[in-house]
């Protein structure tokens, strides 16, 4: 009885397992009812002007296929298959095969690759994807899988990736760089020959001595705030150069300077700058490393820390020179409330109105960059400012020319000027 029972059970299990329908991948033929699908091709090419390791795939997107999806599989010259993308809308028109250096399946230079495109009206299943990546014998044509159809496109030509030795997209930048460098060299040469170069008066910088002197007379320290930039930011570098000049004055007046810092690298650099300035002024004994201290790398934590320090130490002069964001007014208004003379400067145009409203003097953008030149007034440094002014004239001339050509071309519809404007526009494209 037991034997009969086990026999029936085994037979039932066998029937149950083998009666389940297995998905069948069927080749329906090379022809497709839709000639647009048949003629759909992918164009693969190396990405120009890059460092290698990148291939670009493009295709035209006929309106009739707007609801279709495309999946792409890459097969290298050794036959290794990698899924590039799955089920992206045909309308996207392009995809780039670029990966990071850490990715083992990235495109390697000088290795040949073919790409197979799979067009489908529905998302392709994991099961089908696995078959396509493992065992599928790629051949152009129409297929069915689980009652869904998809179309395998003809493979692309073998394509190789290669690195470029020059990025032609940056040609305009290179030409600008050459013009700018030559202008700077010309004016530096003029300065070297002893030509008298002019720099206009900057009230904020003339007030540095007054601010340091006033603070000394009041017996109060000076506070120098470099903002929340890093040492890689140009405004922070400009702030550090101004700090050197201010610290020298501080040493000459034998007073104290406090530099609360947001970033440890900026703090270390500021310590060295102040130390050097005190040494130059002949008072290295007055230098105290602990006056240039780290606060925190949290924006509002920094603002709170510096505000607290202002309220406790009551500095007579506050310099806000560097990169500032939303904390600018919190700092400047607190400084104003304690009656300190404040000289600010930043390149962040959104913060300039706050500084103008709350500080006694504000260095607007380029004035901050020119500050070290102004405070030092060395002929060679003045030469660089003259070069900047000359370049400004060139840029303004191009702006006026662009306006006139646009007015005559697009405004008065004169074709000649419109063409000229287009040429100018193309030339300035980066």
Partner 1 sequence: MLKGKGIPVFITFIVGTIMIFSFFIPHKPFGDLEKISLNWYSIIAGFTMLLGVDSLIGMHYRKITRRTGNWGYSIVLIAGFTGTVVIGIIETIRLGTAFNEASYFTYIYNYFIVPLQSTMFSLLAFFIASAAYRAFRARNFDATLLLITAIIVMLGRVPLGEQISPNLPKFTEWIMQVPQMAAKRGIGLGISLGALGVSIRILLGIERSYLS
Using CB under 8 A as the binding rule, the residues of this chain from 145 to 204 that contact partner 1 are 163-167, 170, 173-174, 177, 180-181, 184, 188
CB of 105 to partner 1, least distance (A): 20
Q: Where are the beta strands (DSSP E) in 173-288?
A: 222-227, 257-261
- Strands 361-364 and 341-346, sheet pairing: parallel
- 423 sits near partner 1 (criterion: CB under 8 A): no
- From CA 93, how far away is CA 146, in angstroms rounded? 28
For residue 79, give the nearest of 137, 162, 127, 131 by alpha carbon.
137
How big, in percent rounded to 5, are the helix, strand and coil portions of the chain? 50, 20, 30
Residue 116 or 374 with smaller CB distance to partner 1: 374
Rounded to the nearest 10 degrees, how much is the dihedral formed by the CA atoms of 209, 210, 214, 220? -40
Please report, as residue ranges, which positions from 391 to 420 form the binding site for partner 1 (by CB under 8 A).
Answer: 391-392, 395
Please report, as residue ranges, which positions from 374 to 393 form the binding site for partner 1 (by CB under 8 A).
Answer: 376, 378, 380-381, 384-385, 387-388, 391-392
Please report, as residue ranges, which positions from 264 to 293 form the binding site for partner 1 (by CB under 8 A).
Answer: 264-265, 267-269, 272-273, 275-276, 290, 293
- From CA 87, how far away is CA 103, in angstroms rounded? 22
Binding partner 1 (rule: CB under 8 A), the pick from 326, 400, 423, 428 is 326
Distances (CA, A) of 118 to 68, 73, 92, 96, 272: 10, 8, 15, 16, 62
- 124 sits near partner 1 (criterion: CB under 8 A): no
- Strands 257-261 and 222-227, sheet pairing: parallel
Other C-beta atoms closer than 10 Å to the C-beta of 283 total: 16
Please report, as residue ranges, which positions from 2 to 61 form the binding site for partner 1 (by CB under 8 A).
Answer: 49-52
CB of 283 to partner 1, least distance (A): 16
Non-local (6+) Cβ contacts of 290 within 8 A are none
Residue 142 or 225 with smaller CB distance to partner 1: 225
CB of 410 to partner 1, least distance (A): 18
CB of 285 to partner 1, least distance (A): 17
Asked if residues 217 and 253 have their Cβ atoms less than 8 Å apart, the reply is no
- 372 sits near partner 1 (criterion: CB under 8 A): yes
Binding partner 1 (rule: CB under 8 A), the pick from 329, 338, 408, 424 is 329
Residue 138 or 184 with smaller CB distance to partner 1: 184
For residue 107, give the nearest of 120, 95, 91 by alpha carbon.
95
CB of 277 to partner 1, least distance (A): 8
Query: Tokens in use for 175?
Result: 């030409």
Q: Interface with partner 1 by CB under 8 A: which range of 77-85, 90-98, 327-335, 422-430?
A: 327-335
Q: Interface with partner 1 by CB under 8 A: which range of 33-41, 200-208, 354-362, 405-413?
A: 354-362
Can you say how many angstroms the Cα of residue 395 is from the centroid of all Cα atoms in its chain?
Answer: 24
Asked if residues 266 and 230 have their Cβ atoms less than 8 Å apart, the reply is yes
Residue 42 or 292 with smaller CB distance to partner 1: 292
Can you say how many angstroms the Cα of residue 328 is from the centroid of all Cα atoms in its chain?
Answer: 24
Residue 69 or 262 with smaller CB distance to partner 1: 262
Residue 301 or 411 with smaller CB distance to partner 1: 301
Query: Tokens in use for 350?
Result: 């959104």
CB of 212 to partner 1, least distance (A): 17
Non-local (6+) Cβ contacts of 5 within 8 A are none
Please report, as residue ranges, which positions from 292 to 311 form the binding site for partner 1 (by CB under 8 A).
Answer: 293-301, 303-304, 308
Binding partner 1 (rule: CB under 8 A), the pick from 352, 374, 405, 421 is 352
Asked if residues 117 and 71 have their Cβ atoms less than 8 Å apart, the reply is yes
Residue 59 or 287 with smaller CB distance to partner 1: 287
- 220 sits near partner 1 (criterion: CB under 8 A): no
Residue 152 or 295 with smaller CB distance to partner 1: 295
- 429 sits near partner 1 (criterion: CB under 8 A): no
Give one DSSP letter per residue of 296-337, joined into a string: -SSHHHHHHHHHHHHHHH--SEEEEEEE--TTHHHHHHHHHH
Binding partner 1 (rule: CB under 8 A), the pick from 62, 141, 213, 365 is 365
Please report, as residue ranges, which positions from 233 to 252 form the binding site for partner 1 (by CB under 8 A).
Answer: 234, 237-238, 240-241, 244-245
């Amino acid at each position: 009885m037991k034997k009969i029972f086990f026999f029936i059970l085994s037979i039932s299990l066998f029937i149950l397992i083998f009666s389940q329908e297995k998905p069948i991948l069927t080749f329906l033929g090379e022809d497709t009812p839709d000639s647009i699908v048949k003629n759909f091709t992918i164009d693969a090419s190396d990405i120009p002007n890059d460092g290698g390791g990148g291939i670009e795939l493009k295709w035209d997107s006929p309106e009739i296929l707007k609801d279709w999806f495309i999946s792409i599989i890459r097969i290298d010259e050794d036959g290794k298959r990698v899924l590039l993308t799955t089920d992206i809308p045909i309308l996207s028109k392009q995809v780039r095969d670029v990966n990071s250096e850490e990715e083992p399946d990235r495109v390697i230079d000088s290795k040949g690759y073919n790409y197979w495109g799979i067009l489908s009206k529905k998302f392709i299943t994991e099961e089908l994807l696995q078959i396509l990546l493992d065992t599928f014998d790629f051949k152009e044509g129409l297929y069915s899988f689980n009652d869904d159809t998809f179309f395998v496109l003809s493979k692309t030509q073998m394509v190789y990736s290669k690195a470029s030795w020059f990025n032609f997209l940056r040609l305009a930048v290179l030409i600008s760089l050459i013009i700018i460098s030559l202008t700077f060299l010309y004016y530096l040469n003029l300065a070297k020959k002893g030509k008298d170069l002019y720099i206009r008066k900057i009230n904020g910088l003339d007030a540095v001595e007054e601010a340091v002197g006033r603070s000394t007379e009041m017996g109060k320290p000076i506070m120098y705030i470099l903002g929340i930039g890093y040492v890689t930011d140009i405004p922070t570098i400009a702030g550090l150069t101004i700090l050197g000049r201010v610290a020298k004055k501080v040493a000459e007046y034998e007073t104290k300077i406090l530099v609360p810092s947001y970033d440890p690298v900026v703090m270390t650099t500021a310590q060295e700058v102040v130390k050097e300035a005190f040494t130059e002024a002949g008072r290295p004994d007055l230098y105290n490393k602990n006056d240039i201290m780290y606060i925190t790398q949290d924006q509002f934590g920094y603002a709170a820390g510096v505000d607290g320090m202002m309220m406790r130490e009551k500095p007579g002069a506050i310099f806000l020179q560097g990169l500032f964001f939303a904390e600018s007014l919190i700092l400047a208004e607190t400084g104003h409330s304690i009656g300190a003379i404040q000289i600010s400067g930043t390149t962040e145009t959104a913060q300039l109105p706050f500084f103008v409203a709350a500080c006694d003097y504000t260095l607007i953008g380029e004035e901050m960059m020119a500050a070290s030149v102004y405070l030092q007034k060395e002929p060679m440094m003045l030469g660089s400012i003259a070069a900047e002014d000359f370049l400004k004239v060139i840029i303004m001339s191009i702006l006026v020319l662009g306006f006139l050509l646009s007015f005559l071309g697009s405004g008065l519809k004169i074709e000649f000027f419109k063409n000229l404007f287009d040429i100018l526009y193309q030339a300035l494209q980066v």
